[in-house]
Amino acid sequence: MAKIKKKVPAINASSMADISFLLLCYFLMVSSMDVDSGLARRLPPPPQSQEEQASVDVQRRNLLVVLVNSQNEILVQDQQGTVMYANESELEGGPGKQAMKDVVKEFVLNTSNSPDLPQLIEEDFGAPIGTVPVTSNHVISIQNDATTRYSAYIAVQNEVVRAYNELRNEGAKRYFGTSYEELTIDQKEQIDDLYPQRISEAEPKNYGGGE
Amino acid sequence: MGKFNKSGKRDMPALNTSSLPDIVFAVLFFFIITTTLRSETLMVRMKLPTASEVQKLEKKSLVTYINIGPPLDTRLGTGTQMQLNDKFAQVTDIQNYIAQEKASMNEADQPLMTVSIKADENTRMQYITDVKQALRQAYALKISYSARKGEN
């Protein structure tokens, strides 16, 4: 047997690029890169019994009530006073009217130690914050009517979150010297403990003529 | 001095494209990995509300979606409908839906499950509240009100 060396012909790979380009184009078209974003909330667990539901009691001065009625008018009310906004765009504030986020910030901070704003309680948050008085018992209660528009409700939620975000940013600047975004996870936790988001979303009631 | 060849035409050397498929494959694999093919077809029309303080939902596999809005097919009326997994559903179906989604998840991931409520901005809050109560009953407590980022 004579040894015949058969040469295996090389596979022509020049069309490989074309094929992979086709596949690439297909995945480019199909893939959706958009990431869903939204306002994160935590719901309370369902009430176990009737008594438990009734037992949640909050001191009046610790409560900021935000009402959104069926005409999408917004009422912000604490013991210090009441601010009324006729629609979503007025939430930013206007002539002779405080912006809603400033009302919320004033309520959460209570810098003047006013008896009409939430109680200040000294708490230790660890270095470098130390022991500072905070309104750890405050509650912001957002209540809506059955016929409130969803967008008005989201606008109100957004203003409350904006107030908290600004507070946290200011806290981060004061205690750590950078913005909140640049803190480490532990530092963020400290700031979150300093200004906890205490938002309550109440059951719907009928305010202002909704059926 | 025959070293310099003046008369010869200079040929442009062919560009070596043998590594082109490799590069394209690398990009291709990136897209295969990042793409999520499980995208349901929307049956409700929704224009999400805008908000400026939105957070991104990090892990897509942990997110369950609830779509709320008027149906795209106008023959079905203009009332608010809810879409769960490619079909219209009632608020009472949410518990089953959540239980199903939870069961299909890794056990360690179950407490991290987030429900994203994607609702049209003109929805009445009554509907949203009912959905929220159903989610509470189903112990899906982490929710997110889906919104577009924008100036408010």
Contact B84, A113 (CB under 8 A): no
Question: pLDDT per residue over A166-206, tens digit each?
Answer: 999 998 998 888 888 888 888 888 888 888 888 888 765 65
- For the record, the structure tokens of B78 come out as 């203009």
What's the CA gap between A159 and A157, in Å, rounded?
5
B76 lies in a domain?
yes
Can you give the pLDDT at residue A209?
47
B4 vs chain A: nearest CA distance in angstroms? 36
With a cut of 50, say whether residue A211 has pLDDT above it.
no
List the structure tokens of A206.
């009928």
Residue A2's pLDDT band (cuts 50, 70, 90): low
Task: Let me know if residue A2 belongs to a domain.
Answer: no
Range of the domain at A192: 58-201
Question: Based on C-alpha coordinates, what's the Rg of chain B?
Answer: 26
Predicted confidence at residue A52, as pLDDT, reads 55
Residue with tokens 């869903």: A36
Q: Once rounded to an integer, what is the mean pLDDT over residues A15-30?
A: 83
> Is residue A21 one of the residues assigned to a domain?
no
Q: Does A96 map to a domain?
A: yes
The predicted-structure confidence for B97-106, as pLDDT tens digits, reads as follows 998 888 888 8
Question: Of A130 and A209, which is predicted with more confidence?
Answer: A130
Please state whether beta strands B148-149 and B50-51 pair in parallel, antiparallel, or not at all (unpaired). Answer: parallel
Mean pLDDT, residues B69-79 taken together:
86
**CA gyration radius for chain A?**
28
Binding-face residues of B in 73-92 toward A, CB within 8 A: none
Q: How many helices, marked H, and strands, marked E, lie in chain B?
A: 3, 8
Query: Within a 13 Å sphere around the CA of B10, how many CA atoms are in the beta-carbon half?
Result: 4
Record the pTM: 0.76
**pLDDT at residue A135 in the model:** 84
Strands A139-144 and A63-68: parallel
What is the C-alpha separation between A41 and A185, in angstroms, rounded? 20
Tell me whether residue B11 is in a domain: no
Higher pLDDT, A208 or B88: B88
Mean pLDDT over B12-39 rounds to 79
In a domain, A9, yes or no: no
Classify A202 as helix, strand or coil: coil
Q: What is the pLDDT of residues A32-49, one digit of tens each?
A: 666 778 888 888 887 776
Q: Which residue of A has its CA nearest to B126?
A: A146
Among the partner residues B52, B124, B139, nearest to A162 by beta-carbon distance: B52
Is a pLDDT exceeding 70 seen at residue B50?
Answer: yes
Of residues B5 and B71, more confidence is placed in: B71
Domain that holds residue B61: 50-149
Min Cα separation A111/chain B (Å): 25
Q: How far is A147 from chain B (nearest CA, A)?
A: 5
Determine whether the interchain pair A24/B28 forms a contact, defined as Cβ–Cβ distance below 8 Å. yes
Query: What is the per-residue pLDDT for A210?
Result: 42
Is A171 within the bounds of a domain?
Answer: yes
**CATH number for the domain harbouring residue B95:** 3.30.420.270
The residue in chain B having the minimum alpha-carbon distance to the alpha carbon of residue A165 is B53
Closest CA to A74 of A163, A138, A153, A158: A153
Is residue B45 a part of any domain in this protein?
A: no
Contacts of A150 in chain B (CB under 8 A): 49, 119-125, 128
Structural domain tally of chain A? Answer: 1
List the single residue in B35, B57, B147 with the smallest CB-CB distance to A30: B35
Which residues in chain A have their CB less than 8 angstroms from residue B143's CB? 40-43
Best CA proximity match to A108, nearest among A66, A74, A84, A140: A140
- With respect to residue B54, please indicate whether it lies within any of the assigned structural domains: yes
Contact A17 B139 (CB under 8 A): no
Name the domain count of chain B. 1
- CA distance, residue A59 to nearest chain B CA (Å): 25
Look at residue A149 and tell me if it is in a domain. Answer: yes
Average pLDDT estimate for B61-89 = 86
Of B13-22, B50-59, B112-121, give the range with the top mean pLDDT.
B112-121
